[in-house]
Amino acid sequence: MCGRFAITLPNDAMAQLFAAAPANDLPAIPNYNVCPTTKIHVVFGEDGTRKLVPMRWGFIPQWYKKPNDGPLLINARAETIAEKPAFRAACRARRCLIPADGFYEWHRPEGGEKQPWFIRPADDGPMVFAGIWQDWEREGDRLRTCAMVTCAALGRMAEIHHRVPVVLSPDQWGKWLGEEGHGAATLMRSVEDTALQFHKVSKAVNSNRAEGPDLIAPL
């Protein structure tokens, strides 16, 4: 799974990268410790236009009577996303892009303590995760929510954790957003571990209140 990530790309540069119209209430940048249930940057299509907007990281199914009425759904497994009642409609019609610099994962060696790692693209470019989104509303309370799509990790990455977010290259963004017809399901596969670089980081990131660039610095 992916439960934390970092994002430092300025909002205007992000909007230019995705050719998306930016909202006025985007989250603060940089953020080296993006946590579930907070607002994150998301790109989606609406009325033929890409938009860069804030969404709550934590997908809320329509039947939840309140946001915490069930499990916190920050990830959706690629293998079952089209079948799960919570995700199947969004998988067909409400797909989105989630930009990041990289994400954190925790590895527990046998008999040892959990060690956080930071995983980022090998080419130092931005990392873009496949996501799904949904509006949730109850008694006038309305939230736009999202989850990341994950799949099985490969190679060296699998030695750190067995799951990894679905990472999309620029030539795949349009297909995932539904701008190029069908075929988005074929994109839900693991990125080759040669496309990633990873290093151990300080256990300071274990706290969801930790912040600052030192969190992603190699040990």
Which positions are annotated as active-site residues?
Answer: 2, 105
Number of C-beta neighbours around residue 219 at 10 A: 11
* Distance separating alpha carbons of residues 81 and 145, to the nearest angstrom: 16
Helix (H) / strand (E) element for 187: namely none
* Distance separating alpha carbons of residues 207 and 144, to the nearest angstrom: 26
CA distances from 115 to 23, 110, 123, 204 (A): 36, 11, 24, 11
Q: How many residues does the chain have?
A: 219
Specify whether the CB–CB gap between 1 and 74 falls below 8 A.
yes
CA 18 to chain centre: 16
Q: Which of 64, 59, 17, 39 is nearest to 148 (CA)?
A: 59
